Structure 1
Amino acid sequence: MEWEVITNSETFIMTIRLIIAAALGGLVGVEREFHQHPAGFRTHLLVSVGSCLIMLLAFYGFQNYISGHNPETINFDPSRLAAYVVSGIGFLGAGTILVQGYTVRGLTTAASIWVVAGIGLTVGAGMYLPAIITTIIVILSLFLLGKIDFGFLMKRKKRFIYLVVEEGKSPLSNLIKVVESYSIEVKGIKTEKQKLFNDKSMIEYRLYVEYEDKEAIIYLADHLNKDEFVHQVYLDGK
């Protein structure tokens, strides 16, 4: 009898919902953490738990107030707080979006944060099955679909461009703008500091790019070779 009282208590219900929200949000965050995105395990867990807490507040936080007043004079709508969470979570998502030249990165992570907020709200409302199903769908889409290369549909080619530039003289953002001006998309970037060359500190940028026009990559190499601060330009030979 005592166990039934405990399990039916509001405190127990809220605790279980917060734990479930943390677990589901954390699962999505693990995938983002694995791929080294700006918002990882802790961010997704906190967003999910926070959303769940606000939903619990909407359901349970005003019961004492309502019980002490005439219900006919109170306009109570628990969905209001949920609506504020959904719209307000955008500032976190915006923080994960990076713009480099004409390329935008972080949109998927921003979307996952937004979905995790919805998962937390759903758990807070006691809808466990939809929250679990959504979590499974999100993880599968992030993990599996991220491995599928759709470039073959557009007949796009891939290769590395290696640039050795003088440190501090030619910003990476400017180089990316030049690359993208030739309709070449930068998909990945790696940097490595080189030894001094004629008393000058050098940096090697390795740009993993996608493109359609074969001649564009040649014109780009010619363009970069004319930059006084770019000391070396070479392709991976594919």
Structure 2
Amino acid sequence: MLISLKKNCLVKKVQKLYLVKKRENRRRRSFDAVITFFVNTHLNDFDKIIIAGVLGGIIGIEREHHGQAAGLRTNMIVCLGACLLMQLSLYLEDMHLYLKADSVVRIDPGRIASYAIASMGFLGAGAIIKGNNSIRGLTTAASLWLVTGLGLSVGAGLVYPATLVTILTILILYLFPIIMKKIITRHVFIRIIIVLDNLENSYQEIKDILTETKAFSIMHVDYIRDIANNQETFTIKIVAKKDCCWQSVSENMTVLSNLKKISFEEANVY
């Protein structure tokens, strides 16, 4: 009886181990099948176009979320167009296989792809906006250039590298701004314009107010003395931390008895 119970327990353990091993093998086969699909499978042209649209849309959603003009639709269209151009390049080569080595006609599959990348510079330039001493849209322009590369890669059949680059790009666009805010102290360049009544040179007093907080560093000072209107104007260019409280600075400036106007604006980078 005891021997029979031991046999039953042993059989159950063996069966359990067999089932666990079977599940592990099934998962491993499934994973290998996915990897094989991305690496070795030769997709048809229709599948490549669909994948290109999806990859371009993933990056486009992130740009749309940040309120960029070149958002979801633009990135999808660019990626689809690049994929189609790459397929056209490869198709033209297949069409002219009958040409002999001594033929004067030469087919270069990389020429259309190279012009697709070069022409993306015009669209990228349109995404860059310069104004008020600041530049916006550089990341969007770079994303459009990258999306063109993704479309060309998918069109050439490099689906796995294109998918990996898409994942890395999304991580960079979403996570890096959060990381940079925590580990990098970003500075801004500010122009402070102070207008004073009466011709009293109050620069030293102004300098003391600005330097009493460690968040500022004075870079340059311009001084205009208007004798006719009995005014003096200080244009002070400083570098400061981005999260600096400008309202407290303007309140500290009110101790100047002859203060008429004070204004802050973003200045050029030095």
TM-score (norm 1): 0.61
List gaps (5 residues or longer) in structure 2.
1-41, 189-234, 255-259, 265-270
Identity %: 36
- Establish whether residue 22 from structure 1 lines up as the match of residue 63 from structure 2: no
Give the distance between the partners of 1:217 and 1:123, measured in 2 at CA: 55
Paired AA for residue 261 in structure 2? K
Distance in 1 separating the partners of 2:236 and 2:66: 28
Q: By how many angstroms is 1:101 displaced?
A: 2.4
1:40 corresponds, among 51, 64, 71, to 71
Q: Does 1:103 align with 2:114?
A: no
Matched, 1:182 2:222: no
Paired residues, number:
170
**Unaligned residue ranges in structure 1 (runs of 5+):** 1-9, 158-179, 186-208, 234-238
Q: CA deviation at 1:150?
A: 3.9
Return the offset for 1:215: 11
**Cα RMSD for the two superposed structures:** 3.5
Instruction: Give runs of aligned pairs for residues 66-105 of structure 1, distance below 5 A.
Output: 66-73=96-103, 74-105=105-136
Contact 1:184 1:211 in 2 (8 A): no
Q: Is the 8 A contact 1:96 1:109 kept in 2?
A: yes
Q: 1:41 to 1:214 in 2, by over 3 A?
A: closer
What displacement does 1:226 show? 3.4
1:226 counterpart = 2:261? yes
Closer, same or farther in 2 for the Cα pair 1:129/1:114, shift >3 Å?
A: same
Residues 75-118 of structure 1: CA deviation (Å, up to 9, x unaligned): 22211111111111011111111111221011001100100000
CA gap of 1:213–1:41, structure 2 versus 1, over 3 A, is: closer
CA distance in 1: counterparts of 2:186 and 2:63, whole angstroms: 28
Asked if 2 retains the 8 angstrom alpha-carbon contact of 1:29 and 1:41, the reply is yes
Tell me if structure 2 keeps the 8 A contact 1:156–1:212. Answer: no
Deviations for 1:176-214, whole angstroms, at most 9, x for unmatched residues? xxxx983569xxxxxxxxxxxxxxxxxxxxxxx927798
Whole-Å separation in 1 of the counterparts to 2:170 and 2:187: 27
CA distance in 1, matches of 2:129, 2:115: 25
8 Å Cα contact 1:184/1:210 also seen in 2? no
In structure 2, give the amino acid aligned to 1:210: K
- Look up the match of 1:169: none
Q: What TM-score, normalized to structure 2?
A: 0.54
| SS of the residue 2:99 aligns to | coil
CA contact (8 A) 1:32 1:109 kept: yes
Partner of 1:210: 242
